[in-house]
Structure 1
Amino acid sequence: MPSSDGVRVARRTLLGAAGAGAVVGLTGLPSVALAGTAKPTDALRQRWFDQLTGGADLDPTDPDIAVAVRRIEKAATSALSTLDTSAGRTVLWKDLASTTASHDVTANFSRIAQIANSWATVGTAHHGDATVADTVLGALDWMSEHRYNTTLTRYDNDWDWEIGAPTQLNNTMVLLYDVIGADRLARLTGAVDFYTPDPNLWRIDRQIATGANRVWIATVVAVRAVLDGDTAALLRVRDALSDVEGGGANSVFAYADAGNGTGEGFWADGSYLQHWMHPYNGGYGKELLNTLSGLLHLIGDSDWQVTDPAAAHVYEWIDEAFDPLLIRGDVVHSVCGREIARPSKQGHVAAQTIIEATLRLIPAAPADTATHLTALAKRWITEDTYRDFLTVTDISSLVAARSVLASAVPADPRPVRHKQYPRMDKAVHRRPTFSYSVSAYSSRIYDYESIQNENLHGWHLSDGMVLLYTDDLGHYSGDYWPTVDPYRLAGTTVDSARLADAAGQRTVSAATWVGGAAVPGATLAAYGMDLRGVGSTLRAYKSWFFVDDAVVCVGSGITGGAATVETVVENRKLADATAAFTVDGARHTGTGTLERVSWCHLDGTGGYVFPTRPTLHALRENRTHTWREINLKYGTDTPVTRPYQTLWQDHGTAPTDGSYRYVQLPMASAAVTRRWADDPPVRIVAADATAHAVRGAGLDAVNFWTAGTVGPLTADGACSVVLTKRGNRSTVAVADPTQGRGTLTVDLAQPLTPVAAVDGVTVTRTRGGVRIGVDTAARTPGATVAIEFRKD
């Protein structure tokens, strides 16, 4: 039988609020007993209030908390200082006066919520101030009459009407619940229910909500239901997360399947897709995690708690969808979508959101999982020396973070691993001194997103773009995206023809060959792409072979293009504008044509080795641009200037069979780079239309574009293979980057015996070797299959 307040406190649930006695910010329970309250949802409302404010027991004299309290107070003071409170006002804030841009509706409610938060938070100058409360209520009344009610015709973006604005309005109503009055509450929650009535559907034409949008919508409905005491709506919210009404096709918790639902959401390999086929772990994915963690916290240990066993996948997302891509406070930008073009999203903001979400998940997690998440959160917080998490996060997360930092659980070691995401055509290589990512696209994934006048110059973000993360933690945060040359992104091979804003966005490639193979438990891998230029005849085969601290880059078959075709070796925003650039041992200005180059080195970044001694072009320049150039919606007109060092190879106009070969040695010294050039431990042994391949001591790695033989490996068709040998043991890692072959066969010209059987793999003896048959149809598309052998 349900308890009188709808909240159960006697047990730990799968996901949700923590037990009584937990620290404020970790607990999901109200800070005071709420027995006998008027609505069965009042305890949940108090829980949400405490999450927003830190609760009644907050100690504003604590130095860290005092900083957070002052930040809340400052935001409210700023909003109050420009708020029009006159009797005949026609706007609340002059800079938010639009009646055609729906963003202003959300922004108005956001500023009102800032004031309300300061009024409700212990220790601010506004706390409990009756005049401030009246000011907030008056602003709500004005918005209700003029901007957000059940009779207005919505305009512009559905997101603002159904998610952005009601989220802020709901929070304000929770914060001022005791003074808002029954009639006003009914009018305002009625407006929320008018625009966002169903946790399963959204948009004016009532589309099925998916991914982050479903969680946002469900949370809006949930908080509104808590305010109204609408328990039936809370049950629908719980069920909407699992898509009970839709038979689970768009469950938030279940791993996405293109054959069941839209394919939006988290996939088993850790990929997150939104807007059908856009990689978005660091955008919509992080927002889903963040909002979901809050919603689970709200309804946990209650009559409306989630009971779906698939909810445990949330913990797996942390390990596979976020941790590999969260690098010392930054999130790999190739999975952040159009958010990279927003000035407010630079500065490690995405990582802050992921950390806050993880902190909310810890209390209700199983003990071992909670310990693991604590270790991760501790590492994430402490390894980011660019942005101090404790000084920018909300009060509840601050308290939770301090609890994590004070715990006896040691920080998780910084990962050393190679991770590929076949479902979203991305790879990341984590080493002790650097991290390196590759961004590609195929017939399965869009190239980039540019909607609502954002990310206007994202043309080449998936043309093999390389992102290199080093000790310069602010590299991609310090106005990188408005100032970098968008036609010369590192790693890309591009047709340099000028393009219109947003040209080619949301385009898939004609190519299926994108992906690679990786040796489990090692940082040895092959990755490649059959590049097709968007709006261009350009085509190229591109490969990256990861050999611990080196990345061997190979390109061949570079053909077509309307203008000069270039492969960009490097385009680095310089932390030091005078950083030394060395060419074959001699200091160089950084600008000019470089003939027969053997190796280069850029101080603070690393080295580059060129085995074919090509002609290269270098440019050291200051680039001045504005955020408005790449984002008309959120950009500013203030010019920003940043220094860059660019290095590229020119393949000419409309080449017929261009190529490149170089080795990138991130964070290597000039001396190490020279040694690589003089005596390379890994050599390129194939670079043609059949295969790209490298060989080193105990290593053969091949990207087969078609059937062929390279060294000891023969493939019956397109595949990626990495063969490693250590002592009398060998490992063969093989994958189908086309994700469409079903079966593949690799012959290995070495007499070996498999150590153990592998599901879906057959091994048969051949003359002088073995034949490996792999059933890829029964596996996650594009995934690596590894077979271990011993020498007889």
Structure 2
Amino acid sequence: MPLSRRALLSTLPAATLSAMALPLRARAAGRPAAAGGTTASGAAAGEAHTRLIANTVAFFAGTPDSNARPEVRAKLASIAATARSRLAAMDGAGPGELFRGVALGTSDPNLATSFQYLYEIALATRAPDGGTPSGLHGDTDVQRRVIDGLIWLHERYYGDQSKGYYGNWFTWEIGISSHVSKILALLADALAGYRPGLAATYVASMDGYLRNGEDGDVDLDSRFHTGANLADITTNRILQGAVLGDDARIAKALADQLTVLATIDPYDLRHGVTDGFYADGSFIQHASVAYTGSYGRGLLTRVVQTVTMLDGTGYTTDDRLVRVVQGWVTDSFAPLIFEGWLMEIVKGRGVSRTTTGYADAAEVVEAVVGLAAHATGADATALKGYVAHLRQTSAAPLDPSVFVSPVSVAAYADILADPSIPARDLGPAERHLAFNAMDRTVHRRPGYAFALARSSSRVSRYEYMSGENLMPWFQGDGAHHLYLSGQDQRQAFGVDYLTAVPPHRLAGVTAPVETRHTVPELYGTLWYDNPERGFTSSSQAQNTYVYFPRGTHPFSGGASLGAYGVAGLVQSDDVGYAAKRAGDLPDDFVAYRDADATKSWFLFDDEIVVLAAGVGDGAGRAVTTTVDTRIAAPSDTLTLTGRLRDGARWSGTGTAPLAWLRYGNATRAASVGYVFLDGPRPTVTLDTVTRSRRAVRLANPDTPVTKQLFAVTVERPAGAPHTSMAYALVPNATERHLDGYAGRPLAVLANTTRLQAVAHRDLRITALNAFTPGTHRAGRLSVRGPGSVILRETPDGAMAIAVSDPTTEREAVTVVVRGRWTRAVAADDGVRVSRVPGGTRIAVTTRHAYGRSFTATLR
């Protein structure tokens, strides 16, 4: 059995993380370690540095054995074709250019691109040809052209520190350095014979541009040197150390990188850092953004690359490191990948990019392939089985030529060809995952996956930055993605969903009906520019109020009981609106007020029940609550059928007193049902829309997207009083199935802004969210709120209960189960069960639990 990440990290205190960076050869020889982590020198160090560079070249360029494989030919052809294209662009360069069309002097992206092109040329000269010679491998003339290009860029656009560091800090501290460091490794021999001092010159410049660090090195107290960014910087510095023969640099960089292995404890932060993986599998970057699918993906990739680079060098990659990263794959990534599609709810601004979903998952697959090569026994089998599972279940065949490493391509082919490896997911098909540390919920069944994005005073409502994700305002307000099994998710979600669906009509959202403007429209730049008030690019104020503002209410979270769960959210204004209203922000700063809603989601087997109370707007605006929104190709055949509350059949669009509605896509063999348990009449619409992908991201191509847009909403006109509603989403529903809900297997026990509760009679489950202080009662349960509770009874009289504090602020949550007294036969630490008049009292200590669930089994 793989060791759990929590158990593993309990063996890795901060001192141990540093010790893991010591070279094995130094410890074996009994030599004391220097402060940076090593004292190894001489022949042993030189051999280690040579091996590190060789490993790096092999990873990026491949080996003679890997590149001779037929499966790798497409990757090699891509490397060669890219290099020839870059050489042609170099030949056609005009004044102020190293490559044709990439003007230099004022554009930091263009400068980074120039270094990237040099790397791509250098890579082709180091890639063994295999069976299809490219003519570039080993070409010293081409290598010298790359080196001359480095010299030219350094002399004119990079070396003068007084002229550099314009634009985005990332370009100077990470982007350029990533390309240059790999070039120095790829061309180490060529540099030694042609320009021996250039590597040291570039490393000195890269140190100089590390301006968010300390004395040209990483600063673990810097908000810029965290998580995936820290992994990028330290990977670069490991390579730089190998090229320069600087053992201390390698050891210090590795020790810094290993700090990302530590699970984030929000009650005992190291260096004040909230970025990283949490005990419940959540991943945060940018202090408060749910980011497993972008920055987390990058961190996974970099750490696996580090393991590969250090293999056999004598720098320990202790097997505990591999086990920690395997825990990330199992607990953090696998739950978020459904049939080869990486879910949108954890991508921040990256959700607006055109290459998402299957392409994102491919990067994870390559990391898992690489990790499996360093795992052993059952761990290696599980990782390889997961790779086979993703290949088997994905609707879009993975193209391994998109992998970074030719060696990964060959290893991936070996896994798929091995009949002894069982294709198997890393978790059960039926599971419920409360990623409460990042305000996300994932509920999975064999036929569907439901992904919910929440927000709070701890977690950002959305992320906008750099002209990406231009209309993000409601993405953390309970927006959901309902993925149906067997579908090509590119047709249902991805950038085209974000493009076609108006932002206030995202599935699951309650939003005001009003015109909003993007940041570039408001200010004429990619950010709000007011240096006198602290608003510059990437400043704390910019981050807090513009790029990724948090909400202002603490209630967001829920309880998990086995494969079932309940989640809740009190929708709130973001901190920008609150600060503007308090007079703390400049007059020309624009902030938008949110609508009002208190919501709960009850996640069962066949349905997701949603309750909403206090739905309306304190400012008197019209408000839309979107039950669901789905897109389809213009040629798809859609059917909308239903039954009215009086039993009559219904079809088409419009506003009607529906008991249920069924959306069917005959072309895709997909369907979703909607059961309306209570509330105002829903409105059903079906339109055809055409919008440009550039509407959601400035760098997207101006490609028009035409989609059929289905929506079922509850509309509240301006000035209408606040209301409540209850409905259920039923994935893969038939009309007969939907008619069955007339038998009332679902019962709404309470639906107010104080308490929301549902009973599922068939499953014998009662669940609730208590949003306010005081005692709340629903069915057999009473709870002193705030808190979330889910109870399941069995026919023999046993029951299981789960309790959590979604505010993360309470010392304890107390629940009473009325009826015959029961005793605890199993209970988590922190759970106390006692008898009270008329029932059983469960007292749960929730202090410092950060929203996790506590469970007990009673009989």
TM-score surpassing 0.5?
yes
Structure 2 residue aligned with 1:465, among 476, 479, 493?
Answer: 479
Name the residue aligned to 1:530: 570
CA shift for structure 1 position 541? 0.8
Whether 2:81 is the aligned partner of 1:50: answer: no
CA distance in 1: counterparts of 2:110 and 2:196, whole angstroms: 22
Name the residue aligned to 1:409: 421
Whether 2:683 is the aligned partner of 1:617: answer: yes
CA shift for structure 1 position 483? 2.6
Cα deviation code 1:363-406 (max 9, x no counterpart): 22243322222222221233223142434324221112122223
**Which structure 2 residues correspond to residues 188-587 of structure 1 after superposition, within 5 A?**
188-196=199-207, 202=213, 207=222, 209-243=225-259, 251-257=260-266, 259-260=268-269, 261-306=272-317, 312-343=323-354, 345-394=355-404, 395-407=406-418, 408-413=420-425, 415-470=429-484, 471-474=487-490, 475-477=492-494, 479-502=496-519, 505-520=547-562, 522=563, 524-534=564-574, 535-536=592-593, 538-562=595-619, 563-575=621-633, 577-584=636-643
CA distance in 2: counterparts of 1:716 and 1:663, whole angstroms: 27
Q: Is the 8 A contact 2:191 2:199 kept in 1?
A: no
Cα deviation code 1:224-255 (max 9, x no counterpart): 11111111111111211245xxxxxxx44343
CA distance in 2: counterparts of 1:688 and 1:701, whole angstroms: 14
Q: Is the 8 A contact 1:550 1:664 kept in 2?
A: yes
Name the residue aligned to 1:759: 829
Q: Is the 8 A contact 2:495 2:693 kept in 1?
A: no
CA shift for structure 1 position 334? 1.2
* One-letter amino acid of the counterpart of residue 602, structure 1: Y
CA distance in 1: counterparts of 2:493 and 2:160, whole angstroms: 43
* Root mean square deviation, CA, Å: 2.7
Residue 335 to residue 528, structure 1, CA distance change in 2 (3 Å): same
Whether 2:760 is the aligned partner of 1:746: answer: no
CA distance in 2: counterparts of 1:363 and 1:8, whole angstroms: 23
Q: Secondary structure at the match of 2:516?
A: coil
CA distance in 1: counterparts of 2:615 and 2:459, whole angstroms: 22
Q: Is the 8 A contact 2:754 2:771 kept in 1?
A: yes
Name the residue aligned to 1:782: 851
CA distance in 1: counterparts of 2:704 and 2:187, whole angstroms: 41
CA distance in 1: counterparts of 2:178 and 2:92, whole angstroms: 24
Structure 1 residue aligned with 2:657, among 588, 593, 596?
Answer: 596
CA distance in 2: counterparts of 1:735 and 1:479, whole angstroms: 37
TM-score w.r.t. length of structure 2: 0.82
Structure 2 residue aligned with 1:686, among 715, 731, 750?
Answer: 750
Structure 1 residue aligned with 2:734, among 664, 669, 672?
Answer: 669
Name the residue aligned to 1:129: 139
Structure 2 residue aligned with 1:652, among 717, 728, 733?
Answer: 717
CA distance in 1: counterparts of 2:498 and 2:200, whole angstroms: 40
CA distance in 2: counterparts of 1:536 and 1:558, whole angstroms: 14
CA distance in 1: counterparts of 2:202 and 2:304, whole angstroms: 25
Q: State the aligned residue count.
A: 745
Residue 654 to residue 141, structure 1, CA distance change in 2 (3 Å): farther
Whether 2:169 is the aligned partner of 1:148: answer: no
Q: Is the 8 A contact 1:465 1:489 kept in 2?
A: yes
Higher helix share: 2
Cα deviation code 1:196-236 (max 9, x no counterpart): 47999649996351111111110111111111111111111
Q: Secondary structure at the match of 2:64?
A: coil
Q: Which moved more, 1:308-317 or 1:370-379?
A: 308-317
Residue 552 to residue 342, structure 1, CA distance change in 2 (3 Å): same
CA distance in 2: counterparts of 1:718 and 1:613, whole angstroms: 25
CA distance in 2: counterparts of 1:427 and 1:481, whole angstroms: 20
Residue 594 to residue 102, structure 1, CA distance change in 2 (3 Å): same
Residue 202 to residue 581, structure 1, CA distance change in 2 (3 Å): farther
Q: Secondary structure at the match of 1:746?
A: strand
CA distance in 1: counterparts of 2:697 and 2:594, whole angstroms: 28
Structure 1 residue aligned with 2:692, among 598, 604, 626?
Answer: 626
CA distance in 2: counterparts of 1:69 and 1:652, whole angstroms: 60
Residue 37 to residue 717, structure 1, CA distance change in 2 (3 Å): closer
Q: Secondary structure at the match of 1:605?
A: strand
CA shift for structure 1 position 482? 2.5
CA distance in 2: counterparts of 1:352 and 1:204, whole angstroms: 38
Residue 310 to residue 402, structure 1, CA distance change in 2 (3 Å): closer
Q: Secondary structure at the match of 1:412?
A: coil
Q: Secondary structure at the match of 2:608?
A: strand
Residue 298 to residue 533, structure 1, CA distance change in 2 (3 Å): same
Cα deviation code 1:694-735 (max 9, x no counterpart): 112211111112331111001112111111012222111111
CA distance in 2: counterparts of 1:203 and 1:101, whole angstroms: 26
* One-letter amino acid of the counterpart of residue 502, structure 2: D
CA shift for structure 1 position 281? 0.6
Name the residue aligned to 2:111: 105
* One-letter amino acid of the counterpart of residue 769, structure 1: G
CA distance in 2: counterparts of 1:180 and 1:284, whole angstroms: 33
Structure 1 residue aligned with 2:706, among 598, 618, 641?
Answer: 641
Residue 360 to residue 186, structure 1, CA distance change in 2 (3 Å): farther
TM-score w.r.t. length of structure 1: 0.88
CA shift for structure 1 position 307? 5.0
**Which structure 2 residues correspond to residues 33-48 of structure 1 after superposition, within 5 A?**
40-48=48-56
Name the residue aligned to 1:15: none
Cα deviation code 1:529-557 (max 9, x no counterpart): 01114432622110110111200011011
Whether 2:768 is the aligned partner of 1:710: answer: no
Name the residue aligned to 2:673: 607
Name the residue aligned to 1:138: 148
CA distance in 2: counterparts of 1:774 and 1:216, whole angstroms: 41
Residue 640 to residue 689, structure 1, CA distance change in 2 (3 Å): closer
* One-letter amino acid of the counterpart of residue 117, structure 1: L
Q: Secondary structure at the match of 2:767?
A: strand
Q: Is the 8 A contact 1:446 1:509 kept in 2?
A: yes
Q: Is the 8 A contact 2:438 2:459 kept in 1?
A: yes
Residue 631 to residue 473, structure 1, CA distance change in 2 (3 Å): closer
* One-letter amino acid of the counterpart of residue 572, structure 2: R
Residue 59 to residue 762, structure 1, CA distance change in 2 (3 Å): closer
Whether 2:169 is the aligned partner of 1:158: answer: yes
Q: Which moved more, 1:593-602 or 1:109-118?
A: 109-118
Name the residue aligned to 1:172: 183
Name the residue aligned to 1:20: none
CA shift for structure 1 position 50? 0.5
Q: Which moved more, 1:384-393 or 1:424-433?
A: 384-393
Residue 242 to residue 54, structure 1, CA distance change in 2 (3 Å): closer
CA shift for structure 1 position 136? 2.7
Structure 2 residue aligned with 1:727, among 770, 781, 795?
Answer: 795
Q: Which moved more, 1:123-132 or 1:563-572?
A: 123-132
Residue 162 to residue 186, structure 1, CA distance change in 2 (3 Å): farther
